[in-house]
């Protein structure tokens, strides 16, 4: 797994494609408690036309460092990573918390933001306080995973997700959810983002429901919305072909 050093911290990533592609690079940012494998169904297909990178944020996956309790701190790690990788304008794709990071990146660094791919995300999050407290105390419940998937999703995918979650320190997810709870991208901020955006959401998503995606679509000036059936919060794993098609259609801008 390749890595690069940012602030003396080794950040690991997966990549596909080459920088010689005519389309702009895509940087894929996972959600709370996640890692680059969340994008396993997108990496290679997108790499056929764009240099595509799926990053492990600090303290996640194979990356060193510690998780951050504020979205803007992750945004700065992302910015330094992009510069270290010698990328100029990029399309930032974010799932859930990663979408918040993408929005914040577009606000702070508009000249480097060629586009946004916002998957199962929101301008404002409302994490369950009881779940956050359980995570803070080191508890992780497999039944929480089930809520992130549609009834149409194979049990194999769900079991793999549960197994991964059981091997992770619950406090990583707690800190990420704390960062999400502190994030609020106002209507005025959304309206100031000039980068073209595609918004993708599973119709059965209860963590960041379709109404959150509709709000993004309403206030982002240059956006399109794709609602995907038979999918919930982990839409990239549940309906990868539909997600990939939405992204490919968007990348023709």
Per-residue pLDDT, 168: 87
CATH number belonging to the domain at 3-250, selected among 3.40.50.1820, 2.40.50.140, 1.10.10.10, 3.40.800.10: 3.40.50.1820
What digits encode the pLDDT tens for the residues 92-106? 999 999 999 999 999
User: pLDDT (tens digit, 9 = 90+) per residue, 156-193?
Assistant: 999 999 988 888 899 999 999 999 999 999 999 999 99
Q: Which of 237, 224, 203, 233 shows the shortest CA–CA distance to 121?
A: 233
Q: Residue 106's pLDDT is what?
A: 98
Q: What percentage of residues in the chain have a pLDDT greater than 70?
A: 100
Q: Is the pLDDT of residue 223 over 90?
A: yes
20: pLDDT strictly greater than 80: yes
**Is residue 175 within 8 Å of residue 90, measured between CB atoms?**
no
pLDDT, residue 210, reads: 98
The CA distances from residue 164 to 5, 13, 99, 124, 169, in Å, are 25, 18, 22, 27, 10
CB 202 within 8 A of CB 225: no
Q: State yes or no: pLDDT of 208 exceeds 80.
A: yes
Banded pLDDT at 70 (limits 50, 70, 90)? very high
Question: What percent of the chain clears pLDDT 90, i.e. is strictly above it?
Answer: 92
pLDDT of residue 239: 98
Task: Tell me: pLDDT of 38 over 90.
Answer: yes
Model confidence band, residue 48 (pLDDT cutoffs 50, 70, 90): very high
Average pLDDT over residues 137-146: 90
Instruction: Give the closest residue to 55 by CA, choosing from 35, 73, 84.
Output: 35
Residue 164 pLDDT: 87
Q: How confident is the model at residue 198 (pLDDT cuts 50, 70, 90)?
A: very high
Order the strands of the 3-6 sheet from edge to edge. 3-6, 9-16, 52-55, 26-29, 90-95, 113-119, 197-202, 223-228
**What is the pTM assigned to this prediction?**
0.97
Place of tokens 């995606």: 213
Alpha carbon distance 64, 82 (integer Å):
17
Query: What would the pLDDT profile of 113-130 be if each residue is shown by its tens digit?
Result: 999 999 999 999 999 999
Residue found by looking up tokens 């955006």 in the block:
197
Q: Could you tell me where the DSSP H helices lie in 182-238?
A: 187-191, 210-219, 235-238
């Amino acid at each position: 797994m390749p890595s690069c050093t940012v602030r003396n911290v080794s950040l690991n990533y997966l990549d596909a494609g080459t920088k010689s592609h005519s389309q702009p690079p895509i940087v894929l940012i996972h959600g709370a408690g996640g890692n680059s494998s969340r994008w396993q169904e997108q990496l290679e297909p997108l790499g056929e036309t764009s240099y595509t990178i799926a990053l492990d944020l600090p303290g996640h996956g194979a990356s060193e460092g510690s998780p951050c309790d504020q979205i803007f701190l992750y945004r700065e790690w992302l910015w330094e990573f992009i510069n270290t990788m010698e990328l100029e304008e990029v399309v930032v794709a974010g799932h859930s918390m990663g979408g918040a990071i993408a929005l914040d990146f577009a606000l702070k660094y508009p000249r480097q933001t060629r586009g946004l791919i916002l998957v199962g995300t929101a301008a404002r999050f409302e994490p369950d306080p009881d779940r956050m407290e359980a995570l803070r105390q080191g508890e992780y419940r497999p039944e929480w995973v089930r809520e992130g998937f549609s009834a149409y999703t194979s049990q194999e995918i769900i079991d793999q997700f549960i197994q991964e979650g059981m091997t992770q320190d619950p406090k990583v997810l707690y800190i990420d959810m704390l960062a999400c709870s502190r994030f609020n991208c106002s209507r005025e901020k959304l309206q100031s983002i000039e980068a073209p955006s595609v918004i993708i959401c599973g119709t059965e998503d209860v963590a960041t429901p379709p109404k959150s995606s509709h709000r993004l679509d309403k206030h982002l000036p240059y956006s399109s919305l794709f609602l995907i059936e038979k999918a919930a919060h982990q839409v990239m794993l549940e309906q990868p072909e539909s997600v990939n098609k939405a992204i490919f259609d968007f990348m023709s801008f």
